[in-house]
């Protein structure tokens, strides 16, 4: 999938994101085929690096990196409420029309990448970066 983790990395521009999605289409079709025919997905081999990433690295990442405190909202906010609706954990509520983040963030970046006004930043890390959100999401 196209990168959307702008707390640490860059998101692709729109044309590049479309290329990445197009390249994933065959794998998506194979997955759809498995679901339709009731077959299991092919087993994925997890190497040592994968196990480390899903184990120690992931635990440390959540412990030290994943937090909502750096999120800020600017005067560009149009109070549409999309960020509140997008948060899968209900970690973000509008207060007097502007978002306030709680302590249950999972760093999915749905709030910041889906803001139609570009009003949300993650500290200085997200400044000037393109936001990526799947074009199908709005539909």
Q: Where along the sequence are the contacts to ligand SF4 (CB under 6 A)?
A: 68, 73, 77-83, 86-87, 89, 91-92, 99, 101, 105-111, 115-117, 119-120
Q: Is the dihedral of CA 55, 58, 61, 67 positive or negative?
A: negative
Closest CA to 101 of 35, 10, 43, 115: 115
Distance in Å, CB of 58 to ligand SF4, minimum: 16
Pairing mode, strands 71-73 and 120-122: antiparallel
Nearest approach, Cβ of residue 88 and ligand SF4 (Å): 6
DSSP sequence for 48-68: HHHHHIIIIIHHHHHHHT--S
Given the complex with ligand SF4, which of 26 and 88 has the nearer CB atom?
Answer: 88
Q: How far is the CB of 81 from ligand SF4 (least distance, A)?
A: 5
| CA dist., res. 131 & res. 118, Å (int) | 8
Nearer to ligand SF4, 107 or 129 (CB): 107
Residue 116 or 135 with smaller CB distance to ligand SF4:
116
Which is closer to ligand SF4, CB of 5 or CB of 16?
A: 5
Q: How far is the CB of 35 from ligand SF4 (least distance, A)?
A: 26
Measured in degrees and rounded to the nearest 5, phi and psi for residue 130 equal -65, 150
């Amino acid at each position: 999938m196209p990168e959307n983790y702008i707390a640490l990395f860059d998101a692709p521009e729109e044309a590049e994101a479309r290329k990445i999605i197009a390249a994933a289409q065959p794998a998506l079709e194979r997955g759809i085929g498995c679901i339709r025919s009731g077959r299991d997905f092919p087993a994925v081999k997890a190497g040592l690096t994968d196990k480390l990433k899903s184990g120690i690295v992931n635990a440390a990442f959540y412990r030290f990196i994943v937090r909502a405190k750096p999120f800020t909202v600017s005067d560009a906010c149009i109070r549409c409420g999309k960020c509140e609706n997008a948060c899968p954990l209900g970690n973000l509520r509008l207060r007097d029309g502007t978002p306030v983040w709680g302590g249950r963030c999972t760093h999915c970046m749905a709030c910041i990448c889906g803001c139609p006004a570009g009003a949300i930043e993650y500290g200085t890390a997200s400044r000037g970066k393109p936001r990526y959100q799947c074009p199908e999401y709005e539909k």
